[in-house]
Chain A
Amino acid sequence: MVNITPLLQHSIAPHPLLLAIETSCDETAIAILRGRALLASEVASQSAAHQPYGGVVPEVASRHHLRHAPQLLERATSDAGISLGQVAAFAATSGPGLASSLMIGASLAKGLALGFDKPYLAINHLEGHLLSPFFGSEAGIEPNVALIVSGGHTMLVEVNGVGDYRIIGRTVDDAAGEAFDKVAKMLGLAYPGGPEIERCAQGGDPARFGLPRSMLNSGDANFSFSGLKTAVRYLLPKIAAPEDGKVLSDLCASFQRAVVDVLVAKTIAAARAARRSLVTVSGGVSCNHELRTQMSLGCKRAGLELRFAAPRLCTDNAAMIAFAALLRWERGDSTPLTTEINPNLAL
């Protein structure tokens, strides 16, 4: 490699500096890329602030973003060893998410773009997840069937390339991560519920309690997790001591397996229907080890290639937004500063 001089002409540089801000829900995050190399990725999580409430509280979230974003910006630029004037483009998540939270990240990125006279890129949070399994890859986006699975979303998407997406299925009621959170609350476990259920499920018997695998044979690529939540709700009074260590462990393992079974079966069926040989998985719930194990087994049996987003890219972060922004920037995309955030932004 040649030495990179600090006086690169970034407007024509093959390895542009990109700065991205993500504030769609409860994490404030800022990341900086030089080409495909991640120079900095800062995340200030608010899980602790929301823990007493068992969920995300919008006003708590937006105040937190406002407090943390400027500090994160300083930390990210200092970690990356760059100054803001060197950045080629500023990106932010513009939706979907909480309006008051999105507004803070997008306003900051627009302000920086305006101040330094550089392009602004509005990035869809879901596109960030969707492309995250290819993070850092020089090869580009290979066509695949993608499962995005998180607290707010559960969907299957046919990905043909950057910006070329077709949603083939989604939840008709609760997201998978939401089911984890709500069942955790019923069981008296802490927030966020996913890691807690996974922890309690360790060593548990996933076959002890028969729970429904909803929509497994629905003939489409949609999901439903509301019935599973209700099934746990009506199972609880029938169990003598649900808080007992072994019973709780079996219950968590049974619930977790029910969610995972449906995610795996539907994803593989969708890949076959779309005639794709590659499956990708991203989003917060893809950190779940049971999902990783069962999806790997299932794809191996089905002769499908499988690519997970790295665990650090699964929970909300700005690195994935910066990567999506880079791929957009390379195509010559930019977003007018007048473009508003959209809490219901579709993929």
Chain B
Amino acid sequence: MATFTSNSAAETIAFARAWAQALVPNDVVALVGDLGAGKTHFVKGLLRGLESTEEATSPTFTLIHEYRGGRLPLFHFDFYRLNQLSELAEIGFDEYLDDGGVAVIEWADRFPEALPERARWLRIEAPSASERNFTEEEK
């Protein structure tokens, strides 16, 4: 896939909104990018693309946020604080993956083995303070 370059948070949201059009039930989206790369902004855009008016906020505290106001449910995970794979069982991670919604995982590269084969991997790189490159990777 070609790389998409965003020049602002607003462009990131617009890109994600368009990207969300093709999402189907049980899709898994793995996000990879540093602190401040714009992962949560991307998820905000996905929610808009799913026709939800909910506002995605950082799930770092409770590890998962559920949004059910759109065309498909969106399950927003954050592996930032996870330390072991076994801790995912505690929040019912596997059940969410097959629950008919879209699962989006921030910091997915911390536990790539937790994700199914079908996961789509999206890397966000930040060459400058405002520029963000989005590239879908083959795994």
Contacts and interface: CB of A to CB of B under 8 A. Distances in A.
A60 B61 CA distance: 15
A55 B65 contact: no
B40 A58 contact: no
Contacts of A56: 61, 81
Interface residues of B, number: 27
B62 A57 contact: no
Contacts of B128: 234
B80 A344 contact: no
Nearest to B84: A59
Q: Is the interface of B mostly helix, strand, loop or mixed?
A: loop
B61 A151 contact: yes
B81 A55 contact: yes
B139 to A, nearest CB: 26
Contacts of B87: 57-59
A343 B9 CA distance: 29
A105 interface: no
B81 A152 contact: no
Interface residues of A, number: 37
Contact of B57 (A100, A171, A186, A343): A171
A57 B65 contact: no
A182 interface: yes
Nearest to A227: B9
Interface string B77-90: 00011111011001
Contacts of B90: 58-59, 62, 99-100
B35 A57 contact: no
Interface of B: 9, 34-36, 40-41, 55, 57-58, 60-66, 80-84, 86-87, 90-91, 128-129
Given A60-B83, A230-B129, 5 more contacts: A54-B81, A100-B91, A172-B57, A173-B57, A182-B60
